[in-house]
Amino acid sequence: MIQHCVFLRLKASTTADQKQAIYDAIAALKDVVPGITDIKFGQNVSPEGLNGGFLDGFIVTLESIEARDAYLTHPQHVEVGDEIITLTDGGLAGILVFDMLI
């Protein structure tokens, strides 16, 4: 299994409704992308102050590296990713991705 961890530094102008719409779109990927076993999302609640401005994020758990690779190129994932980029501070610079095998 692999966890695809994505941390977001959203623009200050991003509304709660926009944020929820993104989370809803990410959650909906589980119904259309084969190999997704779980999706979690939310705000950073760490008191350490080491988040670098990445205050929101999500983790997609997938069955395998192959499932992750198919997820990355799936048209609906690409569509959601493009929307996320419009909401992040600095575009791609406002996104941190970390994949790990579990």
- Residue 65: which residues within 8 A CB-CB, separation 6 or more? 2, 101
pLDDT per residue over 4-18, tens digit each? 999 999 999 999 999
Enclosing H/E stretch for 79:
helix 75-87
pLDDT per residue over 26-57, tens digit each? 999 999 999 999 999 999 999 999 999 999 99
- pLDDT band for 24, please (50, 70, 90 cuts): very high
Question: Both ends of the chain: CA-CA distance in Å?
Answer: 5
Q: What is the pLDDT of residue 59?
A: 98
Instruction: Please tell me the class of the 26-101 domain.
Output: alpha beta
Distance of alpha carbon 73 from alpha carbon 88, whole angstroms: 20
Give the domain ranges of the chain. Answer: 26-101
